[in-house]
Structure formats: C-alpha cells, structure tokens
Amino acid sequence: MPPNQPSPGQRMRDLLAQPGILVLPGVYDGFSARLVESLGFKAAGITGAGLSESKLGWPDVGLMGYEENVRSAAAIAACCNLALNADADTGYGNAVNVYFTVQGFERAGVAGIMIEDQVWPKRCGHMAGKQVITAEEQVEKIRAAAEARRDPAFVIRARTDTTAIHGVKDAIRRLNLYAEAGADVLFADALLSAEDIALVAKEVIRPLAVNMGFGIRRRPTTPLLSARQLEDMGVKIASYPRLLTSAAIQGMMNAMTVFKQSLDEGVVIDRPDLQVSFDALNAMMGHGRIKELEARFVGAAQSLKPAAE
C-alpha cells in the first residue's frame, strides 16, 4: 500500500460514513473487478458463489476452501483499487480458525470479510436445506474476528441465515448479539418481504446490508427492490452478487451459439456486438500502464547497452 494512503478497511469505512446507500456490485475475477472500477464504483463485494462457480465449476455448497478463497481475493485486490468485501463463508472452523482466517484475508488486501452462521458445509443462502449453528457459537466467532484484525478499520460483516429456519425475529436477535460481539455491518440473508427488510433495518443496532438477486429466473427469495427503496427502508448496503456472473454466462452462451452456427454452416459469422473489441479489452486490462512501465524501465535499460563494435 502506498505511503499515506488509507487502508482498504478505512476506505470502506469512509464510504459507509457518506450519506446514502452504498451499492456493491459482485465481482469474482480480474475482468469483473476492472469493469466495475472503470464504471466509477469505489467498492465491491467478492461473491463467494461466483468464485466457486468460476474457479471450481461447482455450485456454492461449501466445496471451495480457505486457501482458494483467500488466494482469489488477493488476486482481485491486486488488480484494482476497489475497497473489497470478501466472503469468508463460516470462517472455516471454530473461533480459533476464524481468528486466522481474518488475518489471512486482511493480508490479502481486502477491506473486510463476511462471516455467516451456517453449519459447514454451507450452501448459497437462496438454496433449501440450510442449517445454522447456535447464536452463542457465532458470537465467539465474531469476537475472535474483531480481535484478530491488525487494522482496527478492517470491516467485519456478520451474516445470519436463520430467517429461513427460525424466522425474522430470531434474525434480529442474532444480528444484535453479533453486533455486540464486534461486528461492524449486519446481514440477514434471504429475507422474504419488503416488510421484513424494513423491520430488520429498524431493529438492528449496526448498519444493515441486503443482497439483491438479479439473475435469478424464478422468483427470488428476497424481493427485488431499487437501491432507493432500500435506502428509504434504512438499509445501508445493497449488494448485487449474481448480476455479473449471470451476465457473463449469458454473454458466453450467446457468442458460442453463433460460433456453433458458423461451424455447422461452414461460414464465417462475424458479430462484433457479441464481443468487446481487442483494443477496448486491452485498455480495460491496464495495457496502457504496462506501456508506461516499459517506457520507463525497459526503454531505459536498452539505452544503457553498449554500442556494437
């Protein structure tokens, strides 16, 4: 981190301190992170489901482990200046494991992590069959997470999945316990109605985050609401974890359908509307910065070579 630059956690806290709702698109690789940053966003959430699906080719059911997760988060953090919230699942064990999980993600360069109270192996919050640990065990995890961070600005987001199992009142109870244990941001996944969202936002003692499920063809568990509607309800963070993963798959499907058609028909079908141009891709991926570095270092080294005799 350059001297005198705020830490990733402090940058996230500065954004949270600003008026209005903070919108976090979900990113999962260098393409998505650079795209989001190029559109002017200052922060994003690393989607655990997106990592599992794109890295492993399997759904978000607890198959991705700590090492793959933190390595992927570090690569995304290294290629952009976004303040990133990473998905640390359940923390990969008990409170002691959570302690070291927090430190690993902090070293990776993200601004904060989310830790949920599901039983491991976890599953996507919008899948059936979830189970949760006791609130007391999750409190231990959150206490360990808060104490583990070296940078006090590193943001701990506590997530509960209890709504689908024990109801919204238990979600509120748990979230406030997690806040008292040291969580900075609270997240009740899979709330079933706008009324539930408004109720949780009103009753919890820390800023509330809500996921919006763009990309779900069937009726999403949580109703789709605009960021402005969520802000009016008292929500501080609106995350969109599946927007870009679903769009990427649809875009690839569209391009491959046309490509398969060209093979079947034995012709060339050029559809520039289905692909970003080579120049635009290089520009977004930071090729200009590479050229600057080459001009400074590689060019300088070439000029120092002795002339051929």
Contact between residue 210 and residue 194 where contact means Cβ atoms under 8 Å apart: no
195 lies in the same domain as 164: yes
Alpha-carbon distance of 161 to 187, in angstroms, equals 9
64 lies in the same domain as 187: yes
150 lies in the same domain as 278: no
Q: Which of 207, 230, 248 is the last residue of a domain?
A: 248
151 lies in the same domain as 279: no
Q: Is residue 3 part of a domain?
A: no
Q: Is residue 1 part of a domain?
A: no
Q: Is residue 53 part of a domain?
A: yes
Global pTM value: 0.92
Q: Is residue 308 part of a domain?
A: no
Q: Is residue 309 part of a domain?
A: no
What is the SS3 string spanning 227-257? HHHHHHHCCCEEEECCHHHHHHHHHHHHHHH
Alpha-carbon distance of 185 to 156, in angstroms, equals 6
Contact between residue 178 and residue 160 where contact means Cβ atoms under 8 Å apart: yes
212 lies in the same domain as 263: no
170 lies in the same domain as 294: no
Q: Is residue 159 part of a domain?
A: yes
271 lies in the same domain as 131: no
Q: Is residue 307 part of a domain?
A: no
Q: Which of 248, 269, 292 is the last residue of a domain?
A: 248
Domain total of the chain = 2
> Which helix (H) or strand (E) is 24 found in, with range?
strand 22-27
For 69, phi and psi rounded to 5 degrees?
Answer: -65, -50
Report the pLDDT value the prediction gives residue 127, as an integer from 0 to 100: 74
130 lies in the same domain as 214: yes
**φ/ψ bin of 307: left (φ > 0), alpha (ψ from -120 to 50), beta (otherwise):** beta
Domain limits at 115?
8-248
279 lies in the same domain as 185: no
Contact between residue 208 and residue 237 where contact means Cβ atoms under 8 Å apart: yes
Each of the 309 residues of the chain gets a pLDDT tens digit; together they read 666 899 999 999 999 999 999 999 999 999 999 999 999 999 999 999 999 999 999 999 999 999 999 999 999 999 999 999 999 999 999 999 999 999 999 999 999 999 999 999 888 777 777 899 999 999 999 999 999 999 999 999 999 999 989 999 999 999 999 999 999 999 999 899 999 999 999 999 999 999 998 655 555 578 999 999 999 999 999 999 999 999 999 999 999 999 999 999 999 999 999 999 999 999 999 999 999 999 989 865 565 565 554
Where residue 65 sits, what CATH number does that domain have?
Answer: 3.20.20.60
